[in-house]
Amino acid sequence: MPHINAGDTAFVLIGAALVCLMTPGLAFFYGGLVRRKNVLTIMMQSFISMGVVTIIWVAFGFSLAFGGTDPVTHHQWALNGLIGNFDYVFLHNVGVAPSPLYSSTIPFLAFFAFQEMFAIITPALITGAFADRVSFKSYLLFLVGWSVLIYIPFAHWVWGGGFLMQWGLKDFAGGIVVHLSAGFAALASVFVVGKRVLLPGEKLAPHNIAFVALGTGLLWFGWFGFNAGSAGAANGQAAVAFVNTDIAASFGMLTWLFLAWYKDKKPGMTGAMVGAVAGLACVTPTAGFIDPWAAAVVGIAAGSICYGAVLFRARMGWDDALDVWGCHGVGGALGIVLTGVFSVGTYAGIAGPGLISGHLHLFGIQVAGAAITIIYSFAVTWLILKFVNIFVKVRVSPEEEMLGLDEMEHGEMAYASLDAG
């Protein structure tokens, strides 16, 4: 029976706190990218996820994601390949003893807390796609529906003993569970919600690039907890994931910067920040499974392919306001596939060998898992939004949209003193 290790416990709890910080970081990142009349609205959408998803996770979400496997016999209940059960509702049987799900040296509550922070930030990622045009009431319903019908099943399928985990799919810190699921949900929302309404001559440029930089810094900092903490212990795999995270983000940032510089003739800061986030998203599923030199390749691939996806999206006329699909959807898919290419068995013996080691099996599983995720997340998100629209109109009126959602939806303005002057 494993024993609690103080160092591992402290490491995972600090990791959970870092992941928690990422949601406010996302609020600043997105808040800087939107127009000034919608700053509070999109920041509120991130922050409110911290409250709503916590309640879901405590009440039944964690149980449905990770319940259903007997810790002694490893017997799985009938639907374990698809969803967990109610073993852990309202944190029943979730205490300070070592986690029964894995050979763990941390309290079960620490594992719960770490997973909770992932569940919080994932639906908030989607909001960048439909920024400036969705009512708060409909967003709350969407937040609940998406968390229950998409995030929780994916968490179970990949990490909780579900069918993708049984297949042998490798997703170290959330390429499928977080980024790919959110990215293709974002794309579905773009088609359901439609394009933004603009006033004559109105520009869509970011209103506060300093906020974007602040948000990027908070996200980058928190991502060390996101990825390294996913090792579940203060060990060598955590160190590898930490280093790979920084390498991929750096190469992603520089690749995007130079590509945009070549195209636009000037080195823009916004592009550099978005490139770093693309590198972080792409390395997430593979951070603990690859050598550091491969993380550089992952970062370059993220910076170039995600940048190309953003240009493609623009040519197609899809109004993904903050390019959630291009960064998180494409980046997450790319990271999952590259896990099947660069994975090695060096780190804690967890990762099976990939194509670079001459093995095709893992690569095939990764591609299949990515395809299933894309189809399920896109289709179910589309259905959730259509269903919500029956009861609460998802999109605000054109008049509200043109005046700004901060004032019309929330009765507040981020820059009220400046406007008054």
DSSP annotation of 378: H
Token pair for 246: 């920084």
- Cα–Cα dist 183/323, whole Å: 9
Q: What is the pLDDT of residue 416?
A: 73
What is the chain's pLDDT, residue by residue, as a tens digit (421 residues)?
578 999 999 999 999 999 999 999 999 999 999 999 999 999 999 999 999 999 999 999 999 999 986 654 455 665 778 999 999 999 999 999 998 876 689 999 999 999 999 999 999 999 999 999 999 999 999 999 999 999 999 999 999 989 999 999 999 999 999 999 999 999 999 999 999 998 888 889 999 999 999 999 999 999 999 999 999 999 999 999 999 999 999 999 999 999 999 999 999 999 999 999 999 999 999 999 999 999 999 999 999 999 999 999 999 999 999 999 999 999 999 999 999 999 987 664 555 688 888 788 999 999 999 999 999 999 999 999 999 999 999 999 999 999 999 999 999 999 876 444 3
- Unique residue bearing structure tokens 């059960």: 85
Question: Is 67 exposed, middle or buried, given 0-12, 13-18 or 19+ CB atoms closer than 10 A?
Answer: buried
Q: What is the pLDDT of residue 421?
A: 34
- Cα–Cα dist 188/180, whole Å: 12
Token pair for 344: 């090695």
- Unique residue bearing structure tokens 């869509």: 204
Alpha helix stretches (DSSP H) within 89-149: 108-126, 136-146
Looking at the DSSP bridge assignments, the partners of residue 76 are: 69
Residue 379's CB is within 10 A of a number of other CB atoms, namely 12
61: which residues sit within 8 A by CB, 6+ positions away? 53, 119, 147, 148, 151, 152
- Unique residue bearing structure tokens 């799900």: 101
In 3-state terms the chain splits into helix, strand, coil percentages (rounded to 5) of 70, 0, 30
Is residue 36 a contact partner of residue 414, using CB atoms and an 8 Å limit?
Answer: yes
Looking at the DSSP bridge assignments, the partners of residue 395 are: 134
- Please report, for the chain, how many H helices and E strands are present, in that order: 18, 0
Residue 187's CB is within 10 A of a number of other CB atoms, namely 23
Residue type, 395: R
Q: What is the pLDDT of residue 420?
A: 41
Q: What is the pLDDT of residue 417?
A: 61
Q: What is the pLDDT of residue 101?
A: 75
Token pair for 15: 């990791």
CATH 1.10.3430.10 fits 6-80+89-420, yes or no: yes
- Unique residue bearing structure tokens 């910067």: 257
Kindly report the pTM of this predicted structure.
0.94
- Cα–Cα dist 337/324, whole Å: 19
Which of 227, 277, 263 has its CA nearest to residue 33? Answer: 277
Is residue 180 a contact partner of residue 174, using CB atoms and an 8 Å limit?
Answer: no
- Unique residue bearing structure tokens 């309404």: 197
